[in-house]
Structure formats: C-alpha cells, structure tokens
Amino acid sequence: RRRKKLDSQELIKKIIAQDKVALSQAITLVESLNVQHHKQAEEIIQGCLPYANNSIRIGITGVPGVGKSTFIESFGKLLTSLGKKVAVLAIDPSSSVTGGSILGDKTRMEELVKDENAYIRPSASGDSLGGVARKTRESIILCEACGFDTILVETVGVGQSETAVHSMVDFFLLLNLAGAGDELQGIKRGIMEMADAVVINKADGQNQKKAQQAKLEYNRALHLFPKKTSDWTPKVTTCSALHHTGIKEIWELIINYIALTTENQYFYARRKEQNQYWLMETINENILMRFYNNPTIKLLITTNKKAVQNNELSPFAAAQLILKTYFKE
C-alpha cells in the first residue's frame, strides 16, 4: 500500500518535470480496465490538476481520408516551430465497437513523432465511446501538467464522437473536402453548428478552384446558423496540409478566437461548464457500467427478456422489477 502511494507521487513529480515516459505510464493507468490502476490514475490526475488548465485545446474532426493526420503533422510542426509544446490525443469511435481503428496507427505523422516538443498518443480503446472519451478528457489534464500548452484532440467525423470532443475543447475545427457541388449534404447539421472553423483541405493543384467555390458555399451555410454564445463568427478557410499552405492562417484564426473569448470571458466560463459536464458524464457512465456488470442484474435481464418476449410480463413491469432489485427500493 505504501509503495503504491509512493509510485503515484513519483509519477506526479516526473510528469510535472515534463517526463514523457512518466506521462505515458500515467495515461496507461487511466486507460486500464483494472480497478486498482484506475484508483491510482485518479490520484495522479488529482495531483496534476493544479498544474493543468494552461493550454489551448483544439478539436479536429473530419471523415476518413480528409487529411487529418497530414493536417495534424503540418499544423503540429508549425506550432512546435513557434515554440509550442503539442500533444495529440485521439478519440476513435470505431475501436470501441469493432476493436479495429479508423484513425490508424499514426505512422503518417512521421515528423511530429520525432519532434521533441510533441507527444502523440494513439486512441484509447476497449469499452464504450463514453469511456474512451472520458479517458481522453483525463489524459488532457496529464498532458497539460506535463507542460503541453497546445492539445489537439482528433476524431473521425462519422458519429457521436464529435459531441464528446466538442465538450472537451476550446476550439472545434472541421476538416472538409471540396466535392462536386454537394459538399453540404454529407455533413450533419449538428457538426457544422459546432464548428468554430471549417477548413477545406487539399486546396492544391487542380483542386484549388473547387476549394474556393466550396468556401463560398460553406460561408453561406454558416450564416444561416444562430449566433454563437462565444460571439465568435465561424470562419471558413482553405489549406493544403500536404503542401503546408494556409496552415499559418488557421493558427492566426485560433489566436483571434482565444483573444476574443478571453476578452469576453467566455473562455473560462465554458471550461467551467465543461468540467460540470464531465462530472455528470462520469457519474452516468459509472452507473451504467456497474449496473450492467452486476451478475444479478445480468441474470435478471436475461430471464426477463424472455418473459417480456412471451408477453408474460410487460416491459415496464419487468424494468421496474430489475431496477428495484438493483437500487434496493
């Protein structure tokens, strides 16, 4: 018991001293399904908390193939060249469902991986999207305590993971491609509405003209959304992640956003709100997990499913019975 305590304190000390190995070890504890590990992770997160919160958190989403890895490599290199310390975390919704990964193994960020001032952590996996998202949220705190001042959270734009990312970042960037005139169709309204910037990637070569056209269309579409509480007007811009053009402009745009929202005090108000959100999310996730992993409940659900199927019991009566058993009412 004493030894375990000492290990946590040791890890906290190392993380604060910007030791990336210790950071990785702590994130592994966060991601572990072992209850003992997670208890230790909680201790470490609590110890790191006073050193966290000093960063800009940027969410990056887009469909597979849009160029997220290429963009993060280019954007990340720009940031480290400006003296920033960049951590890249990912939420991969596929890994919780299929065990496979849409985001891949990040080998495409070849330069950034080698950069001393960058830290790339592939996506957590194993359980529900909610679980994966919470682990990423906790890892942000650890990265910040380790001295990373710019956190990039990547996700695939195919499902609910965007909402989770949006609730843990300050700035939400949607990467898109110029299509054949119907670019707006493929994007869910909700995702467009969350975006602080829409970036049309692959604006190079023969694509340039189409990208400009798409920019106009997105601008028109964004104007139809209600004004954001941040007072920020979402921007549409083009870039080529491959040829590193338009990347600096995106960083400047984010700096403007931070200046505006610091000035109008939205920035920290939003973070406070997000902390509350994660409190409730963690409670919800925990209740669900404990409930469904409870052996008695598992058995009751199986038997009652049959009873309900055969119309021996109404679904509502069965639900009440199971809930009452668990909550001992």
Residues near ligand GDP (CB under 6 A) are: 62, 64-70, 108, 201-202, 204, 240-242
Measured from the CB atom, the residue of 69 and 94 that comes closer to ligand GDP is: 69
Give rounded-to-5 percent helix, strand, coil for the chain: 60, 10, 30
For the residues of 263-316, what is the DSSP string, one character each? Answer: HTTHHHHHHHHHHHHHHHHHHHHHHHHHHHH-HHHHHHHHHHHHHHHTTSS-HH
Q: Which residues, at least 6 apart from 179, have a Cβ–Cβ distance to it below 8 Å?
A: 186, 210, 214
Q: Give the shortest CB-186-to-ligand GDP separation in angstroms.
A: 14
CB of 253 to ligand GDP, least distance (A): 17
Residue nearest ligand GDP, CB atom distance:
67
Closest contact distance (angstroms) between CB of 26 and ligand GDP is: 26
CB closer to ligand GDP, 63 vs 301: 63
Beta strand 86-91 pairing with 235-238: unpaired
Nearer to ligand GDP, 66 or 168 (CB): 66
Shortest distance (Å) from residue 76 CB to ligand GDP? 12
CA distance 282 to 289: 10
**Whole-angstrom Cα distance, residue 176 to residue 5?**
47
Name beta bridge partners: 101. Answer: none
Question: Residue 42 or residue 159: which is nearer to ligand GDP going by CB?
Answer: 159
* DSSP label at residue 205: G
CB of 178 to ligand GDP, least distance (A): 11
Residue with Cβ nearer ligand GDP (64 or 100) = 64
Q: State the nearest-atom distance from the C-beta of 107 to ligand GDP, in Å.
A: 10
DSSP string covering 45-65: HHHHGGG---SEEEEEEE-TT
Q: Which is nearer to ligand GDP, 15 or 103 (CB)?
A: 103
In the complex with ligand GDP, the residue whose CB is nearer, 131 or 246, is: 246
30 contacts 48 by C-beta, under 8 angstroms: no
**Residues 266, 231 contacting (CB under 8 angstroms):** yes
- Give the nearest distance from C-beta 144 to ligand GDP in angstroms: 24
Q: Which neighbouring-strand residues pair with 198? A: 174, 236
